[in-house]
Chains A and B, each alone.
Chain A
């Protein structure tokens, strides 16, 4: 009888079944939910995707970036560029968003990888500022004041007519439903993709580099290549999300699309509060984030202050976040990546 290596646990099996149920419910949500709930869910899902990609960078790759807004903004502007100048359908243009983000990610990585640790963080921020200032010079896309998607492009967007007749809603509501479904698909693909990545040899290499870079190198892990893989993957995903977010907004300006608060600060808080370095953490974090937002919506800057204080407290008291606390107490892992050795049944020996 041989020992076997497995990552699956009983809890993860149950979680997968529940997850499938939740997913079905989410797919069917537009059948009975109001338009404002769909819009809220769109925000939750897109923030979740941004958080997962930042978590992949910082939590698994050890690369703390404060420049994620560069990829959100670049993705969004690429979408507007190919729709306005190239006449591409906005839904198809989302793919270009990812590519647009990749194009600036390569030089960004080239510069930022020269900086270590904390300096990497501010370096990515500087580059995001440079991209913002350059985009603000792009007069055909509205320069510093921004622009809107042309009406024809949003009205004749793929699938929108089908959704209109299917649900009997107006064009604007149909666009929200479409954006919501795309966000849901993106979120599922992101979580699935990251989980898959972490369970492959690459994922093992990534964890090794994060835990001890010298030891990882000594067993043949190419640490530099892992950094590139993680950085480019994260940029691509963040760019896609940026494109999707601004396809739904249909209006863009450099200050909004490259906002460090909206696309990096919120995302960092979500991940830190939920639990950095886990897939479950950002899911919990995004739910708390929106709960707080709806509670403190009328208090303006108090909301950000509360988030900030909460994140600082969690970082000091429970650096693994709320999910980390729960997971330590109960040993629960919904997305287990740890390889465990399972002994053969002793009765047969």
Chain B
């Protein structure tokens, strides 16, 4: 029974990793940009929520609603004024600029908030759990998982049901032709990164509620997100959720065997998938 419990906890943890990964997947899908600062943006989001909570005395769940438009604006500006300038055939500029951004963000957070680890304030709801047979499920992990599913459903609706989504898909397929049809790829990219940062903010909420965070944990979140995207197959959002779940289950099972193996087990699961299915479990895009 302990194993069932471990695996269920792993699946729910996978929801968190899918939230980390969804923004990365969205940006990559539309503009083939891998944002190496993604993990640090999640951590920054967590600090932003923390600041709103402490300054305005808001509940974290309300603070996240205030943080979302701010993060959208940041993402929009970041893409419009910085990252758009790096896009092109050469893969070096986007990689090196986002890597530089990652280091700048980490150290700016370190300067502003010190290396002390922080946590968003929790209340009765966040520590509550529900009993399901012999398994006790935390409300927080359940909420995280539900949010991940909502985000993915929402993104799929956005992609396939709205004119913005049509513009996203058109630009992703062929930016030049899309621009002939009156779409401005630069603006589409900016909106996409803005939306990615809204998802980042949601991920940041759960990161901050569930565990401690400090300015240095960003790169590890980027790596989990990346592994989830690759396992799922580039361009498939549901695949990304499955990828997150595989990493989550591998980590909790690894930790159950030996606490030191938690992170290692996740990485090894990723390498095994890469070995067997180099293009991921549900490949769609040809990249």
Chain A interfacial positions (CB closer than 8 Å to B): 58, 62, 64, 66, 111, 114-119, 121-123, 125-127, 129-130, 133-134, 136-137, 260-261, 265, 268-269, 272, 276, 300-302, 304-305, 307-309, 311-312, 315-316, 319
A130–B104 contact, CB under 8 A?
Answer: no
Which of B34, B107, B110, B268 contacts A118, CB < 8 Å? B34
Nearest 3 interchain pairs by C-beta: A118-B34, A308-B104, A301-B107
Q: Which residues of A contact B108 (CB under 8 A)?
A: 301, 305
A316–B85 contact, CB under 8 A?
Answer: yes
Binding-face segment, B150-158, B161-169, B259-267? B259-267
Min CB distance B162 to A, Å, is 28
B91–A126 contact, CB under 8 A?
Answer: no
B278 within 8 A of A: yes
User: What 0/1 readout, one digit per residue, does chain B (198-242) give for beta carbons within 8 Å of chain A?
Assistant: 000000000000000000000100110011001000000000000
Which of B100, B111, B270 contacts A308, CB < 8 Å? B100
B96–A260 contact, CB under 8 A?
Answer: no
A64–B263 contact, CB under 8 A?
Answer: no
B97–A316 contact, CB under 8 A?
Answer: yes
A311 to B271, CA, bound (A): 32
Please, which residue of chain A has its CB at the minimum distance from the CB of B104?
A308
B91–A130 contact, CB under 8 A?
Answer: no
Q: Which residues of A contact B106 (CB under 8 A)?
A: 304
Min CB distance A143 to B, Å, is 9
Task: Assess A126 versus B267: contact at CB under 8 Å? Given A111-B274, A308-B101.
Answer: yes
Which of A118, A134, A136 contacts B94, CB < 8 Å? A118
B107–A305 contact, CB under 8 A?
Answer: yes
Which of B94, B110, B223 contacts A125, CB < 8 Å? B223
Task: Assess A315 versus B219: contact at CB under 8 Å? Given A58-B92, A64-B92.
Answer: no
User: What 0/1 readout, one digit per residue, does chain B (71-83) give for beta carbons within 8 Å of chain A?
Assistant: 0000000000010
Q: Which residues of A contact B34 (CB under 8 A)?
A: 117-119, 121-122
Task: Assess A121 versus B36: contact at CB under 8 Å? Given A126-B227, A261-B103, A302-B111.
Answer: yes
Within 8 A of A (CB), among B240-287: 260, 263-264, 267-268, 270-271, 274-275, 278, 287
A301 to B115, CA, bound (A): 11
Please, which residue of chain A has its CB at the minimum distance from the CB of B103?
A308
Max count, chain B CB within 10 A of own CB: residue among A114, A119, A300, A319:
A119
Max count, chain B CB within 10 A of own CB: residue among A300, A308, A316:
A308
Max count, chain A CB within 10 A of own CB: residue among B33, B86, B92, B223:
B92
B58 within 8 A of A: no
B159 within 8 A of A: no
A-B contacts, 27 listed (Cβ < 8 Å) = A62-B91, A64-B91, A64-B92, A111-B275, A114-B278, A115-B274, A118-B95, A122-B36, A126-B223, A126-B270, A133-B263, A133-B264, A265-B103, A269-B100, A300-B110, A301-B108, A305-B107, A308-B100, A308-B107, A309-B100, A311-B96, A312-B82, A312-B101, A312-B104, A315-B92, A316-B86, A319-B92
Min CB distance A300 to B, Å, is 8
Q: Which residues of A contact B91 (CB under 8 A)?
A: 62, 64, 117-118
A64 to B267, CA, bound (A): 20
Please, which residue of chain A has its CB at the minimum distance from the CB of B219?
A260
Chain B interfacial positions (CB closer than 8 Å to A): 33-34, 36, 82, 85-86, 90-97, 99-101, 103-104, 106-108, 110-111, 219, 222-223, 226-227, 230, 260, 263-264, 267-268, 270-271, 274-275, 278, 287
A111–B230 contact, CB under 8 A?
Answer: no
Please, which residue of chain A has its CB at the minimum distance from the CB of B262?
A133
Max count, chain B CB within 10 A of own CB: residue among A118, A119, A265, A276:
A118
A127 to B227, CA, bound (A): 11
Min CB distance A256 to B, Å, is 14
Min CB distance B89 to A, Å, is 10
Task: Assess A304 versus B95: contact at CB under 8 Å? Given A119-B230, A122-B34, A122-B226.
Answer: no
Min CB distance A311 to B, Å, is 4
A312–B97 contact, CB under 8 A?
Answer: yes
A307 to B97, CA, bound (A): 12
A118 to B287, CA, bound (A): 11
A58 to B93, CA, bound (A): 12
A265 to B218, CA, bound (A): 15
A218 to B33, CA, bound (A): 29
A253 to B90, CA, bound (A): 37
Min CB distance B229 to A, Å, is 9
Min CB distance A205 to B, Å, is 20
Q: Which residues of A contact B110 (CB under 8 A)?
A: 300-301
Task: Assess A311 versus B100: contact at CB under 8 Å? Given A111-B271, A137-B260.
Answer: yes
Min CB distance B193 to A, Å, is 15
Min CB distance B257 to A, Å, is 13
A300 to B115, CA, bound (A): 12
A265 to B107, CA, bound (A): 13
